[in-house]
């Protein structure tokens, strides 16, 4: 991991404690049923998202000023939304190293530990995939979270045949 200013790092950890998601995406692959995902979304703070992206990864992968329709019952649109969305193995590993060095302090600490296990399985160079272990981790993540994880997505994960309907 490249040198990061410790004051900035601790500030960023606090931001992630409140605003980031250690999550996953379902896939259609039976040998790799999920793909780990880190997401930080802020509204009206493009500079902060871009700064975090530059400090951690040296740029790339930031969407700015994207209009997003809310999934809430109001159906309102969010404007000036910036996303730092990480799914590639190299950047996921960098995030694991970062949060191992600068630990989270809130309830997300436990969520991160589960997510970290998922990232390590996903990034593993072992020839034998471990889809059942990945599913177990996702179920633990869902159980650990009060909100944010899709229970319907988890149901599809646990019953892959349901995806074909």
Q: Which two tokens stand for residue 155?
A: 């149901």
CATH number 3.30.465.10 given to 6-164: no
The pTM (predicted TM-score) of the whole model is 0.77
Query: So where are the chain's domains?
Result: 6-164
Per-residue tens of pLDDT for the chain, all 165 residues: 568 999 999 999 999 999 999 999 888 887 788 899 999 988 878 888 888 988 998 876 666 655 555 555 555 666 667 788 899 999 999 999 999 999 999 989 999 999 999 999 998 866 566 888 888 888 888 887 644 444 545 555 555 555 444
């Amino acid at each position: 991991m490249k040198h990061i200013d410790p004051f900035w790092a601790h500030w960023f950890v606090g931001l992630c404690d409140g605003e980031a998601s250690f999550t996953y995406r379902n896939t259609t692959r039976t040998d790799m049923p999920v793909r780990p995902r880190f997401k930080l979304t802020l509204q009206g703070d493009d500079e902060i998202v871009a700064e975090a992206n530059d400090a951690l990864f040296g740029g790339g992968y930031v969407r700015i000023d994207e209009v997003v329709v809310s999934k809430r019952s109001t159906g309102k649109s969010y404007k000036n939304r910036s996303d730092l969305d990480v799914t590639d193995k190299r950047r996921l590993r960098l995030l694991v190293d970062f949060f191992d060095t600068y630990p989270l302090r809130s309830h997300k600490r436990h969520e991160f530990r589960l997510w970290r296990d998922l990232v390590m399985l996903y990034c593993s160079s072992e020839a034998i995939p471990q889809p059942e272990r990945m599913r177990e981790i996702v179920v633990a993540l869902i159980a650990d979270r009060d909100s944010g994880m899709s229970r319907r997505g988890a149901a599809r994960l646990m019953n892959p045949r349901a995806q074909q309907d």
